[in-house]
Homo-oligomer: A and B are copies of this chain.
Amino acid sequence: MEKITVSLGYRSYPITISAGLLKYSASFLPLKSGDNAMLVTNQTLAALYLHKLLTLLNKADVKIDYVILPDGEQYKNLSVMNQIFTALLQKSHGRETTLIALGGGVIGDMTGFAAASYQRGVRFIQVPTTLLSQVDASVGGKTGVNHEMGKNMIGAFYQPVSVIIDTDCLSTLPPRELAAGLAEVIKYGIILDSEFFQWLEEHLDAILALDSKVMRFCIRRCCELKVKVVEHDECESNIRTLLNLGHTFAHAIETHVGYGNWLHGEAVAAGIVMAAYTSEILGEFMSVDTIRIINLLKRAHLPVRGPTNMNAEAYLPYMMRDKKVVKGNIRFVLPLAIGRAEIRTGIDQNIVIKAINTLQNS
């Protein structure tokens, strides 16, 4: 079992990583006998885990209710989130309740924002079930929903009281979702840790085979890297922005093709390559490193180009609405080497367009 503590003063919380955690009610601490809780999950996961978890928590004398949401990024919006509030009110949950988010990023983000907002704030426990949410959403307290005009535009910074990562959940994950998670894993290597990037090149086959020891290390390393960044910059005023490598492009793709058509991780993979090309054109990144990135993404079964029907100019209006825009200036995260990245503003839009075009025609 691996345990990491996210230190944010009185809002500090533990992340526990191990196989089989969902078999033990003790994993759900600080929930205890006599407490109320509301389990939030989606249709797909409910079929796999709902009955077992309700039995487990009932036995532990937790009064547990549940709400099942539709599965998919296209449902991460205010009106689906309202179903959580309705369920809480129907079952008369008060301020002392605890929300449990069982699912991937969509369930985690939406449940976290619901927890931040219900009666102006109740406790929540994250149980991320996808690789992407385990390495990304479990640290950092970013919660929220999409607006039809922009991804993650509505939300709150809000910390869980505990994160439970049961690596057994990955065995039920569709291969496409595993790959999507690997995009974020690879991202950590590129922006922060060249040794980890090399480790990934060496262990990718074991990861794809879900080797449990390799997987546990991989998830722990990503969480540790993210913890280090978030502890320094909880509200993303500075270095936390680095974690958005590829995301400005990715959000444009996801919004353009419609939420749920491209997985977030798939869009991030394409976005990372676009950022590498932009940096190359600026003379800041070596093409040999771009090739290493592309090769690793390909081995992970990830796309390394944007959608074929989306031309370079189509990216700009979405990018201008991005949260990283400051006074009309797009802020880009540019890789400078494997293991090092920087935040840049004032980059000529034509260079960005050229980078996307070069990639799309390569």
Which A residues are within 8 Å of any B CB, using their own CB?
A: 36, 78-79, 82, 85-86, 89-90, 92, 94-96, 113, 116-121, 142, 144, 147, 149-150, 153-157, 235, 320-321, 323, 325-328
State whether B121 touches A156 (Cβ < 8 A): yes
Known A-B contacts A86-B147, A321-B92; the reply to A118 vs B326 at CB < 8 A is no
Closest 4 CB pairs of A and B: A89-B149, A119-B323, A94-B325, A117-B154
7 residue pairs from A and B, CB less than 8 Å apart: A79-B79, A86-B149, A92-B321, A94-B323, A95-B326, A118-B153, A121-B156
Q: With CB as the reference atom, state the residue of chain B lying closest to A320.
A: B92
Q: With CB as the reference atom, state the residue of chain B lying closest to A88.
A: B153
State whether A96 touches B321 (Cβ < 8 A): no
Task: List 8 additional A-B contacts (Cβ < 8 Å) besides A78-B82, A94-B326.
Answer: A82-B147, A85-B153, A90-B149, A94-B327, A96-B326, A117-B156, A119-B153, A120-B157
Q: Distance (Å) between the CB of A132 and the closest chain B CB?
A: 20
State whether A144 touches B156 (Cβ < 8 A): no
Complex CA distance for A119 and B321, rounded to whole angstroms: 11
Number of copies: 2
Complex CA distance for A117 and B117, rounded to whole angstroms: 10
Complex CA distance for A153 and B320, rounded to whole angstroms: 34
State whether B120 touches A144 (Cβ < 8 A): yes
Q: Which of A78, A119, A323 has the most CB of B within 10 A?
A: A119
* Interface of A (DSSP majority class): mixed
Q: With CB as the reference atom, state the residue of chain B lying closest to A119.
A: B323
Q: With CB as the reference atom, state the residue of chain B lying closest to A35.
A: B327
State whether A150 touches B117 (Cβ < 8 A): no
State whether B78 touches A147 (Cβ < 8 A): no
Complex CA distance for A273 and B303, rounded to whole angstroms: 67
Q: With CB as the reference atom, state the residue of chain B lying closest to A36.
A: B327
Kindly list chain B residues whose C-beta atoms are within 8 Å of the C-beta of A157: 120-121
State whether A89 touches B150 (Cβ < 8 A): yes
Complex CA distance for A235 and B121, rounded to whole angstroms: 10
Kindly list chain B residues whose C-beta atoms are within 8 Å of the C-beta of A94: 323, 325-328
Complex CA distance for A324 and B326, rounded to whole angstroms: 41
State whether A321 touches B89 (Cβ < 8 A): yes
Kindly list chain B residues whose C-beta atoms are within 8 Å of the C-beta of A119: 153, 323
Kindly list chain B residues whose C-beta atoms are within 8 Å of the C-beta of A113: 117
Q: Distance (Å) between the CB of A122 and the closest chain B CB?
A: 10
State whether B79 touches A120 (Cβ < 8 A): no
Q: Distance (Å) between the CB of A154 and the closest chain B CB?
A: 5
Partner of A156, one of B36, B90, B153, B156: B156
Known A-B contacts A79-B78, A323-B95, A326-B95; the reply to A155 vs B90 at CB < 8 A is no
Kindly list chain B residues whose C-beta atoms are within 8 Å of the C-beta of A153: 85, 89, 118-119
Kindly list chain B residues whose C-beta atoms are within 8 Å of the C-beta of A328: 92, 94
Q: Which of A85, A120, A321 has the most CB of B within 10 A?
A: A120
Kindly list chain B residues whose C-beta atoms are within 8 Å of the C-beta of A320: 92
State whether B155 touches A120 (Cβ < 8 A): yes
Complex CA distance for A281 and B359, rounded to whole angstroms: 78
Kindly list chain B residues whose C-beta atoms are within 8 Å of the C-beta of A149: 86, 89-90
Q: Distance (Å) between the CB of A238 and the closest chain B CB?
A: 13
Q: Distance (Å) between the CB of A11 and the closest chain B CB?
A: 13
